[in-house]
Chains A and B, each alone.
Chain A
Amino acid sequence: MSGAIPESLLEQLGHQLSQVVGFIYPNEVETQWAILIVVYPYLTGIVAGAFILASLVKVFNVVEVQPIYRLALLTALAFMLVAGMPLQLHLGHPERAYEIFFTPQPTSAMAMFGFVYLWYLLGILLIEIWFEYRQQLVLMAQKSRGLMKGIYGALSLFSKDLSPEALAFDHRASKLITIIGIPSAFLLHGYVGFIFGSVKANPWWGSVLMPIVFLMSAIVSGIAMVMFLYILLSLVRNEKLDMRCLDKIGLFLLVAIIVDFALEALDYIHRLYQSEESIGILSELVSSRLFTSLVVVQLLLGMLLPLLILVLVRSVRFNEELRKLLYFTSSLLILLGIFSMRWNVVIGGQLYSKSFRGLMAYKMEITGIESLMTALALLALPFLILTVLFLLLPPRWMERNAPTAAH
C-alpha cells in the first residue's frame, strides 16, 4: 500500500511530525489547506476590492477616481478568471469538480460559493464591462479589418446603435449593474469569509467577525492593487498620472485600512477579553509560529506602516514624485500584508491542535502542484491576463480615437 503514496508527501509529513510541539490528534499532522488555499481568498479579495473602488465612480459619483474606472474593472476580471484555479488545483479529484454544480449541498458554504462566483463573473463583471466598453467595441469593429473585426464584432454582439439614447442606456445599465454589483461583491468575498467563519470546530476561524474582516481586508487589497497598477502602468508606459485621482484613491485606502484595522483589533481584543478555553494555545500560536507573519508582516509592515505613510501624505505637502513613491510603497506593503493575513488565517488555523494542547508545522513544498512555484505562477497570471485585456480592450482608446465621443 505504501508504494502508492508519493515519497514527497511522506517526507513532508515526516518532517512536520518531527516539528510537533505538545499533543496533537494524529491526523492533524497533515496541513489540509495549504498555500493554494492562501492564494485563493487573496485573489477573490482583490476582485471584490477593485470592483468596490470602481463602484465609487458609478454609484457614488466620485468623479476624481474616473481615470482608473476601467483599470479597476479589468483588474477585477483578470483576477476573477484566475481565482478559481487554485481551488481546482488543490482538489484531490479536480476532474470531479463539476459535481459542485451538479449536486450542490445547500448546507455547504463552499457549494453555494460556486454559484455566487458564477453569478458575479457572468452576471456582474462581464455584463458591466460589456456595457462600459460597448461603444468602444463597436467603433473598434468599424475601424478594424479581418480577424480583429470579427472578434470585436462578436464581442459587441454585433450591435451597431451608437445613438445618444443607446449610449445613455448603456450608462444607466452600467449604473444599475454596479448597484447590484456592490452587494454581490460583498457576497462574493463575504462568503469566502463565511467558509472559514462558520467552522465551529476551529476557534481561530469560527467567529462572527470573520466574514466582515475578510471583506474589509478584501476592499483594502483591491484598492491597493489598483493604486499599485495605476502607478506601475504610468511608469511603464511613460504616461502622465492624474494626481487628483491618486490622492483620492489614497484617501479611500486610508479609510479602508482604518476600518480594517479597527475590525481586526476588535477581534483580538474580544478574544483576549472573553478568554475562552482556546486562548492559551492561540496565544502560544501567535507568539511562536505566527509571530513573524502576523505581528511583523501583517500588522507592522502591512498595516501600521502604510497607515502612517498615508496619514503623512495627507498631512505634509510633499511634491508629486515623492507622493507617488510613498503611494507605491504603501500599496506594495499593503498587498504583502493582506497576503500575510490570508496566510495567518488559513495556515495559522492549522498550526494548532483542536485538542488545544499542541502546535504543528507547515513545510511548503517548492515544486509540485501544491507548491511555492504554483502559487507564484497563479499570482503572476492575473498580470499576464491584464496585459492581454489591455491590448484587447485599451482603456484609453476612446480618448485617442474618438475624443468627442469619449465620456
Chain B
Amino acid sequence: MNKREFLQQVVAFLPAAGLLRMLPGTAEAKELVGAPANDYDPTRHWYGMGVDVDRCIGCNRCVEACKAENGVPDEPFYFRTWIERYSVRADGETTVECISTRPAQPEQAPPEDPAVVRTYFVPKLCNQCAHPPCVQVCPVGATFQTVDGVVLVDEKRCIGCRYCIQACPYGARYLNPITRTADKCTFCYHRITKGLLPACVEVCPTQARIFGDMKGRADRLVRFQRVNMISVLKPDLNTEPKVLYAHLDGEVR
C-alpha cells in the first residue's frame, strides 16, 4: 500500500476500532464472559426478571433484603433496588415519590387525595440490559456482561471514573462509598448461580417480582412473558432491558 492508504488507515483506526465493536453481530461484540469450569454452565442461562406492577404493595421488604444480602450502605443515598409510588389524577398530572428513602410510618396511613384516579407502586432495579450503555462506556472494561446475562462490576479494577453511572438511563448505579467503585444490582449472582432466588424475589410477599431464565423450558419468566403484555423502561433508548414489566402504566419513567 502507498503512504496515503497507510495514513488513512492509521487515522481511521481509533474511532473505527470503537465503532466496529458496536456493529451488531460482529464476532467481538458477541464475546461475553463466562464462568470458570465447574458444574454451573452459564451458556445454558439467560436471566431476566418479571415485575407485575399490579401486585406490588410497597412494603419495601425487597429493598431491606437487598441491602442486607449485598452489604449496600444503609444510608438513603445508595440503592440497588427501590420502590416508587405514582399518583395519577384525571387531568394527567402525576406525582411520584420514592418511598424507600424515607423511614416508614406504618401507624400513619398516608393521606388520600380524592382527585387521584389511580395510584400504584413500581419496583425499580438494574435492568441488566442486553445492550448495556454502561458496559459500552467503561474505559477499562471493569463492568461487563456475563454469558448468562448479568452485568457485573469488577471492584478490583474499577477506577471509579463514574462514567457508567452517567450512562445508565435508569439511575440503577451508584458509587459505593466504601470501595469507591461503581456498584449496582447483580441479580444476586452469588445466589442465582446456586439455584436460589435473588433476595428481593425471595422476600416479596405478593409475587410482584418473578425471577427466571429466558432459556428455561418450564420457567416462571417464560410463562410471565406468555400471559402478560410486557413493557420495558425507556424502550426508545434501545438498551433492551431484561426486567420485564407487566401492567406498567404509561406515566412510569
Which residues of A approach B to under 8 Å, CB–CB?
1-2, 4-6, 9-10, 13, 17, 22-30, 32-33, 87, 90-94, 96-97, 99-100, 102-112, 114-116, 195, 198-202, 353-357
Residues of B within 8 A of A (CB): 14-15, 17-18, 20-22, 71, 73-79, 82, 84, 94-98, 100-101, 124, 133, 135-142, 157-163, 165-175, 177-178, 180-181, 237, 253
Additional pairs, 15, CB under 8 Å, beyond known A4-B178, A27-B78: A5-B73, A25-B170, A32-B162, A93-B159, A99-B157, A103-B141, A104-B139, A106-B17, A107-B137, A200-B237, A201-B166, A201-B169, A354-B170, A355-B171, A357-B94
Evaluate contact between A13 and B77: CB separation under 8 angstroms: yes
Asked whether B98 lies within 8 Å of A26 as measured between CB atoms, the reply is yes
Q: Which residues of A contact B76 (CB under 8 A)?
A: 17, 26
Q: Select one of B75, B169, B175, B177 contacting A354, CB under 8 A.
A: B169
Q: CB distance A33 to B171 under 8 Å?
A: no
Give bound CA distance, A105 to B142, whole Å: 9
Check B73 against A92 for contact (C-beta < 8 Å).
Answer: no
Given contacts A2-B74, A27-B79, A356-B253, contact A108 B136 (CB under 8 A): yes
Are A27 and B17 CB-contacts (below 8 A) given A33-B166, A93-B159? no
Q: Which residue of B lies closest to A94 (CB)?
A: B159
Whether B161 pairs with A199 at a CB distance below 8 angstroms is no
Give Cα distance in the complex from A90 to B162, angstroms: 9
For A112, what are the chain B residues with a Cβ–Cβ distance below 8 Å? Answer: 14-15, 18
Chosen A-B contacts, 12 in total, with CB atoms closer than 8 Å, are: A10-B77, A17-B76, A27-B78, A27-B172, A28-B171, A91-B160, A91-B161, A92-B161, A92-B175, A106-B17, A108-B137, A202-B166
| Shortest 10 CB-CB contacts between residues of A and residues of B | A92-B160, A25-B171, A92-B180, A201-B169, A111-B139, A23-B96, A106-B17, A99-B140, A32-B162, A110-B139
A27 in contact with B163 (CB, 8 Å): no
Complex Cα distance, B158 from A94, in Å, reads 10
Contact of B158 among A4, A93, A195, A357 (CB under 8 A): A93
Q: Give chain B nearest CB distance to A99 CB in angstroms.
A: 4
**A108 CA to B138 CA in the complex, in Å?**
6
B142 to chain A, nearest CB (A): 8
On whether the beta carbons of A97 and B101 are closer than 8 Å, the reply is: no
Given the complex of chains A and B, what is the CA–CA distance between A94 and B167 in angstroms? 21
Using Cβ atoms and an 8 Å threshold, which residues of chain A touch B138? 105, 108
Residues of B within 8 A of A195 (CB): 163
- A30, A104, A106: the one within 8 Å of B174 (CB): A30
CA distance A356 to B178 in the complex (A): 30
Residue of A nearest to B237 (CB): A200
Nearest residue (CB) in B for A356 is B253
**Contact yes or no, A105 B77, CB < 8 A:** no
Most buried by A among B75, B181, B237: B75
Given contacts A13-B75, A93-B159, A93-B181, contact A27 B171 (CB under 8 A): yes
Shortest beta-carbon distance, B241 to chain A, in Å? 13
B89 to chain A, nearest CB (A): 14
**Consensus secondary structure, chain B interface:** loop
* Cα-based distance from A29 to B181 in the complex (angstroms): 17
B175 touching A201 by the CB < 8 A rule? no
Which chain A positions have C-beta within 8 A of B75? 2, 5, 10, 13
A199 touches B84 (CB 8 A): no
List the B side residues contacting A6 at CB < 8 Å: 177
Contacts of A107 in B (CB 8 A): 18, 21-22, 135-137
B77, B96, B175, B253: most-surrounded residue (chain A CB, <10 A):
B77
Min CB–CB distance B125 → chain A (angstroms) = 11
> With the chains together, A2 CA to B71 CA distance in Å?
11
- Distance in angstroms from A53 CB to nearest chain B CB is 24
* Complex contacts, A102 vs chain B, CB 8 Å: 140
Q: In whole angstroms, what is the CA distance A22 to B98 when docked?
A: 10
Closest to B169 in A: A201
Chain B residue with minimal CB distance to A96?
Answer: B159
CA distance A357 to B165 in the complex (A): 19
Asked whether A201 and B168 contact (CB < 8 A) given A27-B77, A108-B163, the answer is yes
A196 and chain B: residue at smallest CB distance? B166
**A29–B71 contact, CB under 8 A?**
no
* A307 and B203 alpha carbons, distance in the complex (Å): 63
Closest A residue to B77 by CB, please name it. Answer: A13
A350: nearest chain-B partner, CB-CB:
B166
Q: Could you say which residues of chain A place their CB within 8 Å of the CB of B20?
A: 106
Contacts of B159 in A (CB 8 A): 91-94, 96-97, 99-100
Distance between Cα atoms of A112 and B173 in the complex (Å): 23
Residues of A within 8 A of B171 (CB): 24-28, 353-355
Question: Pick the contact of B253 from A2, A100, A357 — CB < 8 Å?
Answer: A357
Contact across chains for A2 and B73 when beta carbons are under 8 A apart: yes
A103 contacts across to B, CB distance below 8 A: 140-141, 157
Contact of A115 among B14, B71, B73, B161 (CB under 8 A): B14
Chain B residues closer than 8 Å to A10, beta-carbon distance: 75, 77
Please, which residues of chain B bring their CB within 8 A of the CB of A5?
73, 75, 177-178
Q: How far is the CA of A108 from the CA of B159 in the complex (A)?
A: 14
Decide if B169 touches A200 in the complex (CB within 8 Å).
yes
Chain B residue contacts of A93, Cβ below 8 A = 158-160, 180-181
Contact at A32–B169, with CB atoms within 8 Å?
no
CA gap between A340 and B14 in the complex, in Å: 31
Q: CA separation between A87 and B98, bound complex, in Å?
A: 33
With A27-B173, A92-B180, A93-B180 in contact, is A100–B157 under 8 Å at CB? no
Contacts of A1 in B (CB 8 A): 71, 73-74, 178
Q: Is the CB of B74 within 8 A of A25?
A: no
CB-nearest residue of chain A relative to B136? A107
